[in-house]
Structure 1
Amino acid sequence: MTDPTQNPDFPKDPYPAYAAMRSTSSVQPVIAGSSGRTSYLVTGYAEARAALGDARLSKNTAVFFAGKRSRRRLHPAVAHTMLASDPPQHTRLRKLVTKAFTTGAVAELRPFITRVTDELLDQWSVGEPFDFVAGLAVPLPVIVICELLGVPQADRSDVQRWSAQLFAAGAPDVIDAASHSMADYMRDLVAAKRRDPGSSLLDRLISARDEDDHLSEEELVSLAVLLLVAGHETTTNALGNALLALLQHPAELDRLRANPDEIPAALDELLRFDSAVNTATFRFTTEAITLGGTGIPAGVPVQVVLGAANRDPKRFPEPDRLDLDRNAAAHLAFGHGIHRCVGAPLAKTEVEIALRSVLARFPEIRLAQPHSKPNWRRTQLVRGLESLLILT
């Protein structure tokens, strides 16, 4: 069948298409309209979880694309990140950054995240339409991850713009150009930090490269780019998706406003309901496998659709209903297995603090245009809003 994600209207509401696919088979081949290449879409929860933990599904894009002609000119620092690697390389790289995103490490950031959130909310005007995405969902995680990595304030708008361009669906030239801009910038920043060292996470990674030789220069730049991009893209989308879901479900919004201490427990259901990452990053079979009763030959791409898996009624009854009493801790919004998002604790903390602050400061918050359709980004990998106009 033709890949439904190629439909230009797909980003507006992908869930009916996913449900239709699951009703036929939870794993099935699709043909991409642009390349004509066959890949397999995984839309069932059990099958997605199994695929995410299956070592026979490789993420090593360098191996898959070796010898294949391509018109793309992605910078290697973007094309071959930690996400595009397998153990033992992936294990070594992930170990270097894990400590920065533990629950304890993130707890130390709470005062900073709270202060930044309050400063951004101070710019809102009660009674006037305000774009939640541009005003909070984008700048908050950008400021936090840039602070962690030691990116100068003057450079942060460029970093955010290049990151957004990396997810520009249907614009390969834009994506490729942005990959070079981002990688070149990070290479220059590494050089600047070598001349004037600090205490940021990037400085610590440079030390691992220069003193302990745990990183090659290429790995260092690639890891820095990945942390910068992944460190805010997921959170930006999660923030917008969560607030939109609550605004569209007034009873649940009122409940959290009256009981803000329930927000941490509600996050899993909000993340499940509208996953910030729609489709997991690239995987391919290293040998023929059977998944969900479907045979998949060796050497073909497998797309694990996290958004579809999180709406599988076999795992989450009445999946299209937002239910803050649901135990949704097993959702796949952050992936699963060795590639589960290393920054998940930071993302959840930022969303929690932002929702607490918004609901506390603006008890009358509502959609500025309640009957208009949300403006979704036209991208396949992530699911997020271009804008979200609200009234406070």
Structure 2
Amino acid sequence: MTASPLFAEGETLWSPHVRANPFPLYKRMREEFPVARITDPQLGQHFWLLTRYADVVSLVRDPRFTQDPTRLPEEVRQRFFGHKLRSLSRHLLTVDPPDHTRMRSLVSKVFTPRRIEELRPRITEICSELLEGLRAQGPGGDFLKEFAFPLPVIVIAELLGIPPEDRDRFREWTQTFFAPPSKDSQEKTREAHQNFFKYLGEIFELRRQQPRDDLISALIAVQEQGDRLSAEELMSMVFLLLVGGYETTGNLLGNGLLALLQHPDQLQRLREDRSLIPSAVEEMLRYCGPFELSILRFAKEDLELHGQHIQAHEAVRVNYLAADRDTEQFAEPDRFDVGRTPNKHVGFGHGIHFCLGAPLARLEAIVTLELLLERLPELRVATAPEKLAWRPSAQARGLVSLPLAF
């Protein structure tokens, strides 16, 4: 099978200039190759990539695809998931209905909008403290290092019930999990996973004996009633909440603030009308969202999509960033508009696999914008646009750093 002629010689979806600005390529893909065959250089495996909004939305409802690795032949499972830890293998992103329905129902009972909204005062306190730390750095202080990534780790640690004295370790493990790959990172990551899961196992046992008013205690309580989460599911779900809390929110804050600072007319609109802040967060999710490539889905049978023949057990992914710039869905999609309405973006996914932590990420982003507008009126990027570097991942989109001046 011949790959679609999308790239120049030696160029890939992971090339630095594509990472810096993937949108021209995605426009071409939507128009000419809406189902394109891509090679993942890290896995050395092929997958089909969908870039049109309508296809992204329909795929999540298509019963011809599965997200559950246990439904795949052993050879396919080993090729794509042999490197993954089993302790992370049973959560909302890796199961299909009816298991997904059961698990989502259980977790939703404790991860409620009311529980999230009750966090607003504490999130405001945390943001205030981090903001003071950022200001203390002076001009050139890195918004990502000092604010955007510490914030979700502190919030999710407190929500789960991690004791204050353990939060530095918790944060260190989290940073290790999401550090860019390097020669010596594999062993360090494996060790961090082992320590993290040993620690969580001990926390679970303590909460079973002495429940508290935290999310882990609530998940354990719901686990031990009729319908239940298995021990493996419980561990996987806590890790999924950490992943969603850390990388998603950190990149949303970094990407969103950069977009706002690069569009001073829209920043001025927010200064003049703070009621637009929730709408601005939605536009950040659409225009420069933290999710790029979805997790892998697999065809259950041979099928055709836009003239491309996809064989049974071949991998398929959707591209949320590309879908959210589709002219068939959004008027002037390349324009950043903090008052855009309607705005049915897929920045948090879609359908049954819509991000469970979306309300928390939204709240953290709203509080962040409120405080930045209030306390840093002269905020600007402290480096030239061409000097900003983007992370090499094509799955989550985010900056390496965002130095600020104020």
**One fold, TM greater than 0.5?**
yes
Match of 1:257 among 271, 274, 279: 271
Structure 2: runs of 5+ lacking an equivalent: none
1:76 corresponds in structure 2 to 86
Residue identity matched to 1:132: F
1:60 matches 2:68: yes
CA deviation string 1:344-375 (max 9, x = no partner):
11111110110110111110011111444323
Structure 1: runs of 5+ lacking an equivalent: none
Residue identity matched to 1:103: P
Match of 2:362 among 343, 348, 353: 348
CA gap of 1:273–1:210, structure 2 versus 1, over 3 A, is same
Residue identity matched to 2:305: L
1:110 matches 2:120: yes
C-alpha RMSD over aligned residues: 2.4
1:334 corresponds in structure 2 to 348
CA distance in 2: counterparts of 1:362 and 1:39, whole angstroms: 44
2:196 corresponds in structure 1 to 182
Q: Is the 8 A contact 2:276 2:339 kept in 1?
A: no
Identity across the alignment (%): 38
CA gap of 1:257–1:22, structure 2 versus 1, over 3 A, is same
The TM-score normalised by the length of structure 1 is 0.92
1:166 corresponds in structure 2 to 177
* Segments of 4+ moved more than 6 angstroms: none
1:150 matches 2:150: no
CA deviation string 1:270-302 (max 9, x = no partner):
110001111111211112333345332221110
CA distance in 2: counterparts of 1:222 and 1:50, whole angstroms: 27
2:312 corresponds in structure 1 to 298
CA gap of 1:277–1:34, structure 2 versus 1, over 3 A, is closer
The TM-score normalised by the length of structure 2 is 0.89
SS of equivalent residue, structure 1 residue 41: strand
CA distance in 2: counterparts of 1:65 and 1:131, whole angstroms: 46
Q: Is the 8 A contact 2:276 2:338 kept in 1?
A: no
1:120 corresponds in structure 2 to 130
CA distance in 2: counterparts of 1:161 and 1:16, whole angstroms: 37
Q: Is the 8 A contact 1:47 1:291 kept in 2?
A: no
CA deviation string 1:178-235 (max 9, x = no partner):
4434333322221232343212111111123345461221111111111122123211
Q: Is the 8 A contact 2:297 2:317 kept in 1?
A: yes
**By how many angstroms is 1:237 displaced?**
0.8
Q: Is the 8 A contact 1:132 1:390 kept in 2?
A: yes
5 Å matches for 1:1-392?
1=3, 4-64=12-72, 66-68=74-76, 69=78, 72-125=82-135, 128-168=139-179, 170=181, 173=186, 176-212=190-226, 214-392=228-406
Residue identity matched to 1:52: V
CA distance in 2: counterparts of 1:236 and 1:140, whole angstroms: 8
